[in-house]
Structure 1
Amino acid sequence: MKQSEIIQQLSDRELKKSLYFSQLLILIIAIIFSFILFDNISDWFSYLKWDIQDIVLFGVLPGFIIVIIDFILMKIVPEKHYDDGGINKRVFESMNKREILLFAILVAVAEELLFRGVIQTTFGYIFASIVFAIIHVRYLKKPILMISIVITSFLIGYLFLITENLLVTITAHFIIDFILGVYIQKNKGTTKSGVAKIILKRGEG
Structure 2
Amino acid sequence: MSRKTNKKEKESKRTRSIPKAELPNNIKIPNRTIFPQRSQEEIERLRKEKIVFSFRFLDTKHEAFNCGGISDGWFLHLFDNLTEISKLTMSEFEQQRRHYDLHRHDFGKTAHHYKESIPEHVLEQVSPENMIQFRLSRSGGRVHGIRYHNIIYIIWLDPHHNMYPDERYGPPKRYPAPLRPYEELEREIEKLQKQLEEKEQENKMLFDMMAEMEEKKSS
More strand by share: 2
Normalised to the residue count of structure 2, the TM-score between the two structures is 0.25
**Structure label with greater radius of gyration:** 2
More helix by share: 1
